Amino acid sequence: MDNDFLHEVFGSRGVRIAFVSVLIVLALYLLAQTVHITSSLGRSSNPATDTITVQGQGQATLPPDVARISFTVENTAATVADAQAATTKQANAAIDFVKEQSAADKDVRTLAYTISPQYAYPPPCFSDFCPVRNPKVIGYQVSETIEVTVRDLAKVGEFLAGLGQLEVQNLSGPAFALDDSTAGYDAARADAISKAKEQADLLAKQLGVRLGKIVNFSESSGGYPYPIYGFGMGGDAAVSKAETPDVPVGENTYSSSVSITYEIR
């Protein structure tokens, strides 16, 4: 190649900068490949065959920080509009009450809203001649089910008593829980992993081997948390209009099971 041509090509400042940039990128790529190859030395591409697997069962018992109460308001009338008006009036009164008790807007939600026709059925026919008689619509029932999350647990009894005075139907709860349910399972998992590691250390000592890296891990969490209490929790709340019920909070227990496989040397 002609020296004058090379001088003309590389004499351009833009070409020189582009050429140097390409060299830098190439050098960085080669460096990355070298580091990768070096870190891979001594590693087998085959899965580990000398392993031990241990299990750990963990639990975490934590006090709840919220209580969830649900209730239904339902009314029947000759027309849908009249049934809706009656249900809306009663539901709004219940919602106003729970908000007066410090329930935030985000903590009050409708779970279901239904409109159902109500039928009158003809009496049974016992004669040989029995004409077909269809049921007759005599009205409509409108129901709304609402759930409230109570964050001040000291007020749970007041919520139950006040809603009872408003004569709502199917008042259920309180269901005590952690607002962030993952916190309970995270604590249970940590306990399970700790117990699995203890078992692995003991087993390695007994077998006269050394633990290597973890090559497999699996976990299963134990369903729903279950409460620890003596009385006064769960189920339908039978609320007296004259008094506020005593509602013990108790604690919830979360469980987790883990399996850890170690490479051994």
User: Could you list the pLDDT tens digit for every one of the 265 residues in the chain?
Assistant: 555 555 554 556 666 666 667 677 677 777 766 666 555 555 555 555 789 999 999 999 999 999 999 999 999 999 999 999 999 999 999 999 999 998 999 999 999 999 999 998 877 777 677 777 788 899 999 999 999 999 999 999 999 999 999 999 899 989 999 988 788 899 999 999 999 999 999 999 999 999 999 999 999 876 555 554 433 333 344 444 446 777 778 888 899 999 999 999 8
Do 220 and 167 lie in one domain? The reply is: no
> Are 143 and 73 within 8 A, CB to CB?
yes
Which range of residues forms the domain containing residue 207?
51-63+181-264
Residue owning tokens 């219940």: 94
Pair (218, 168) in one structural domain: no
CA 31 – CA 187 distance, rounded (Å): 42
Strand order in the sheet with 136-150: 108-120, 136-150, 66-77, 169-177
Residue with tokens 């279950």: 226
With respect to residue 46, please indicate whether it lies within any of the assigned structural domains: no
Does the predicted model carry a pTM greater than 0.75?
A: no
**Within this chain, do residues 132 and 229 fall inside the same structural domain, yes or no?**
no
Same domain? For 78 and 166 the reply is yes
- Is the separation of the CB atoms in 194 and 238 below 8 Å? no
For 6, the enclosing helix (H) or strand (E) is helix 3-10
**Residue 45 is assigned to a structural domain of this protein:** no
| Total structural domains within the chain | 3
Number of neighbouring beta carbons within 10 Å of residue 205: 11
What are the φ and ψ backbone dihedral angles of 70, each rounded to 5 degrees?
A: -125, 150
Question: Which of 130, 154, 177 delimits the end of a domain?
Answer: 177
Domain boundary among 148, 177, 206: 177
Residue 149 structure tokens: 């999350």
170 lies in the same domain as 242: no
For residues 173 and 77, membership in a common domain is answered with yes
CATH number for the domain spanning 203: value is 3.30.110.170
Looking at 126, 151, 177, which one is the last position of a domain?
Answer: 177
Closest CA to 247 of 100, 64, 43: 64
